Amino acid sequence: MLTFVARRLLTAAITILVVVFLAGVLIHLVPGDPITAMLAQSGNASAADIARLTGQYGLDKPVWQQTLLYVSNVLQGDLGTTIRGNEPVAPLLLGRLPNTIILAVAGLGTALALGIPMGVIAAVNRGRAADFAVMLIAILGVSIPGFWMGLTFIQFFSLHLGWFPVAGTSARNIVLPALTLGIVHSALVARMTRSALIDILNEDYIRTARARGLREREVLMVHAMRPAMISVVTVVGLVFAHLLGGQVITENVFSWNGIGRLAIQAMLQRDYPLVQGFMVIFATSIVLVTTALDLLYGLLDPRVRRR
């Protein structure tokens, strides 16, 4: 087990190091100069101002030098300072990470709360109208763009019914973005639940359970659901990782003060240190989540440890 843990941790460390390097170099491939973009808005950006600030931020150095410097700084725990406003990057991003995690957890919870019952209904009614209807709803959920669904929710629930505030980051504000994310991701959970449950419901031991005269509800909840959930749990990690990075648009629509909104603004402004910091922190979060899941699988299933 120790070798397995060490191997996974080493893989995680190498992955993070590669991400730091890529964050350092890739940003320079995106067209757009951060200083010109910043000073263009001031209306009085002289060429001298641009040249001076470009030099002061070290952006006049060759890309390889900037990349090496960046990797070296990150390894020493320094993510740099923003070009806009000259603020330290790390506290800026880490301060918003909890909001992103809270919304991801709420979105995931909603996806599970919607997706699992939908999958069960579809599985036990396989081939019938209910199965078709549930899967249609699931496909609709995943097909409708999240930003459109979000804006529609704002129009209906906030503007017409007045149930929830339009914008902000609080307990009352989380309902609509969580619902939006949940509906979008519930399709995957529903499909996974359905297919896992259908496979299990065809197993011999289920037939045996029915032959023993157990009620259908008991067969389903006790004997079929538990093994089916193993497959669902596998999806949870993937959905959660996707939610951490994929909720950028939802954060923007609902003005949720998460890391994604900050990243969008930073990308549009070409605020290199902030974009790089986002990539590093986001990728590190994903690597940590997946590593934790790997370790958990290893703990639960000895076959994984031997691979």
Partner 1 sequence: MTRFSRLTLPALILGATALTALPLAAQTTLTVARSVDADGLDPQKVSTTQSSQVTDLIFDTLVTLDASGVAHPGLAESWEISEDNLTYSFTLREGISCHDGSAFGPEDVVFTFERAVAPETMNPRRSQYGPIESVTSEGNVVKVRMTEPYGPFLSYLGSFSIPMICRSSVAADGNFTPVGTGPFTLVEWSRNDHITLKANDAYQGFSPLIENKGRPYIDELKLVVIPEAVARMAALRSGEVDLAEPSLEEAAILENEPGFKIYSADLSGQQVMAAFTWKLAPFDNPEVRRAIGMALDRDSYAMIAYEGLVSPTTCPAAPGLIGVDLEKCAAWGTSYDPDAARAIMEGLGYTPQNPLKIKLSVHALPGFDQMHQMMQQHLAEIGVEAELETREVAAFFDQMSQENLRTEGTPVLWTMGYSGVDSDYMTVMWQQPGFVNMGVGAELDTMLADQRMLTGDARVAKLQEVQQYLLENTYAVPLVSPGWNWLWASTDKVDGFRTGFVASIIFNDVKIAE
| Interface residue list for partner 1 (CB under 8 A) | 30-34, 36-49, 52-53, 56-57, 82, 84-87, 92, 95-96, 147, 151, 154-155, 158-159, 162, 165-169, 252-255, 257, 261-262, 264-265, 268-270
Residues 234 and 69: their CA atoms lie apart, in Å, by 39
Question: What are the residues facing 75 on neighbouring strands?
Answer: none
Write down the least CB distance from residue 268 to partner 1, Å.
Answer: 6
Residues 197 and 119: their CA atoms lie apart, in Å, by 8
Assess contact for 232 and 192: CB atoms under 8 A: yes
Degrees (nearest 5) of the Cα angle 11, 236, 100?
Answer: 80
Write down the least CB distance from residue 61 to partner 1, Å.
Answer: 16
Write down the least CB distance from residue 278 to partner 1, Å.
Answer: 13
* Complex with partner 1: residue 173 or 186, whichever CB lies closer: 173
* Greatest pairwise CA separation for the chain in angstroms: 86
Residues 13 and 284: their CA atoms lie apart, in Å, by 9
* Complex with partner 1: residue 171 or 211, whichever CB lies closer: 171
SS (H, E, C) 50-101: HHHHHHHCCCCCCHHHHHHHHHHHHHCCCCCECCCCCCEHHHHHHHHHHHHH
Exposed / middle / buried, residue 276 (Cβ in 10 Å: 0-12, 13-18, 19+): buried
Write down the least CB distance from residue 101 to partner 1, Å.
Answer: 16
Write down the least CB distance from residue 95 to partner 1, Å.
Answer: 8
Write down the least CB distance from residue 252 to partner 1, Å.
Answer: 5
* Complex with partner 1: residue 84 or 210, whichever CB lies closer: 84
Write down the least CB distance from residue 168 to partner 1, Å.
Answer: 7
Write down the least CB distance from residue 192 to partner 1, Å.
Answer: 32
Annotate 138-171 with DSSP letters as a single string: HHHHHHS-HHHHHHHHIIIIIIIS--S-SS-SST
Question: What are the residues facing 88 on neighbouring strands?
Answer: 81
CA atoms within 13 A on the CB side of 164: 22
* Complex with partner 1: residue 31 or 127, whichever CB lies closer: 31
Residue 14 is encoded by which pair of tokens?
């190498």
Q: Which of 275, 195, 289 is nearest to 242 (CA)?
A: 289
* Complex with partner 1: residue 56 or 202, whichever CB lies closer: 56
* Complex with partner 1: residue 3 or 170, whichever CB lies closer: 170
* Complex with partner 1: residue 10 or 159, whichever CB lies closer: 159
Count of CB atoms within 10 A of residue 224's CB?
25
* Complex with partner 1: residue 43 or 213, whichever CB lies closer: 43
